């Protein structure tokens, strides 16, 4: 079994991207509060 080196949480980064579609916006053209 190989030894796994531990990494601190602050040394890790996660990037999440999402496309915004017209159905994700309201009549003002801004995002709904709970969507993003």
pLDDT at 7: 85
Question: According to the model, what pLDDT value does residue 2 have?
Answer: 84
Instruction: Report d(CA 19, CA 25) in Å as an integer.
Output: 12
Q: What is the pTM of this model?
A: 0.37
**Tens of pLDDT along 1-36?**
788 888 898 888 889 888 888 888 888 878 877 666
| CA separation for the pair 36, 23 (Å, rounded) | 13
């Amino acid at each position: 079994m190989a030894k796994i080196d531990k990494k601190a949480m602050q040394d890790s980064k996660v990037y999440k991207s999402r496309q915004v579609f017209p159905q994700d916006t309201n009549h003002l053209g801004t995002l709904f509060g709970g969507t993003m």
